[in-house]
Amino acid sequence: MEREQVVQLLEKYWQAETTVEEEKMLAEYFRGADVPLEWESYRDIFSFYAQEAEVKPGKELEERIMERVRPRPRLGAAWWGAAAVIVLGLGLSLYQRDKPTMKDTYSDPQQALAAVQKALLIASKNMNKGLHPLK
C-alpha cells in the first residue's frame, strides 16, 4: 500500500468511516514489516486488535453459564395452590366477620340507645319472670 493511501485510510479510520475491507487492509499493512517508525504506535494498536480477536471463551465460561441457567428446585403448583387457599381463607374470614351479622341497624346513636334500653328492660323483665314463675 502506498503511503498516501495509508494516510487517507487512517484519516477515514479515525472518522470511523472505513469499511470492514479497508480496516482489514489497514490491519494487514501494520502487521507488515515495512511500517515507518513514526507509525510504530499504530502497529501496536492494530496488533492489539488482532490479539483480542483471537481470544476464545475459556471452558469455564460455559460451565458458569450453565450454572446460572440450571433449573432450580421451584415451588410446585400444589404449593402455590396451598398458598392461594390460605390467602383466600384469611380474606373470607375477614369478610365474613364484618358481614351481615354486625351491620349496624341504626345510624343515629340516640335511636340505638333507645333500642338498647328497650332490649335491656325486656331481658330484665324476662329474667325476673324466670325467678318469679308464679307472679
Partner 1 sequence: MKMYKKLLIVLGLLFVGFVSRAQDDAIGKFFGKYVEDSRFSVISISPRMFRLLSKVRWDTIPADIRQTVSKLQSLRIISTETTPYVFYKEALSKIDMKEYEELITVRDGNDNIRFVIKENGGIIHELLMIAADKDGFTMMSFVGDIDLDKLARLSASMDIKGLEDLKNAKRKNK
Instruction: Indicate whether 97 belongs to the interface with partner 1 (CB under 8 A).
Output: yes
Quickly list DSSP for the chain.
--HHHHHHHHHHHHTT---HHHHHHHHHHHHSS---GGGHHHHHHHHHHHHHHH----HHHHHHHHHHHSPPP---HHHHHHHHHHHHHHHHHHHHHHSGGG--S-SSHHHHHHHHHHHHHHHHHHHHHHH-TT-
Instruction: Indicate whether 117 belongs to the interface with partner 1 (CB under 8 A).
Output: yes
* 76-95 footprint of partner 1 as x/- string (CB under 8 A): xxxx-xx--xx-xx--xx--
Number of chain residues interacting with partner 1 (CB under 8 A): 44
The single residue among 3, 56, 59, 132 that binds partner 1, judged by CB under 8 A, is 132
The single residue among 57, 58, 73, 133 that binds partner 1, judged by CB under 8 A, is 133
The residues binding partner 1 (CB under 8 A) are 76-79, 81-82, 85-86, 88-89, 92-93, 96-97, 100-106, 109-110, 112-113, 115-117, 119-133, 135
